[in-house]
Amino acid sequence: MGHKAKRTQSGNDYGRDCIIDNNTFVECKHYTGNNFQIGREICQKLIGSMEYFNITRGIIFTTGKIHNNAYEYAKGLKYKSLEFVNLDDIIQCYIK
């Protein structure tokens, strides 16, 4: 797709798992079952890393659900962009 992606080191990854094109941070969360949700706390951790490295765009990929407080938090951001991709989005993208 023409993008350059780099996986971050395991362990102290500053709340990001991947960097795309040196301007987008990605956090990936793999959950099984129906009770696991991305909440505001995970968003805040990624935003903190974005702030530290002066990055304006972040994406959270998850196989779980996304809690309303995560959407509300992302909606209230003024200078940063935070997007969510869940399992349904991934399936729709690849099954066409």
Residue 67: CATH number of its domain: 3.40.1340.10
Structure tokens at 84: 């969510």
Residue 14 lies in a domain: no
Residue 10 lies in a domain: no
Q: What is the mean pLDDT of the chain?
A: 89
Q: How many residues does the chain have?
A: 96
Task: Calculate mean pLDDT across residues 17-41.
Answer: 88
DSSP string of the chain?
A: ----EEEPPSS--TT-SEEETTTEEEEEE---SSS-EE-HHHHHHHHHHHHHTT--EEEEEESSEE-HHHHHHHHT-SS-EEEEE-HHHHHHHH--
Decide if 74 contacts 43 (C-beta within 8 A): yes
pTM, to two decimals: 0.87
pLDDT beyond 90 at 88: no
pLDDT given at position 40: 95
Domain that holds residue 30: 24-94
* Rounded Cα gap, residues 39 and 52, in angstroms: 21
> Number of folded domains in the chain?
1
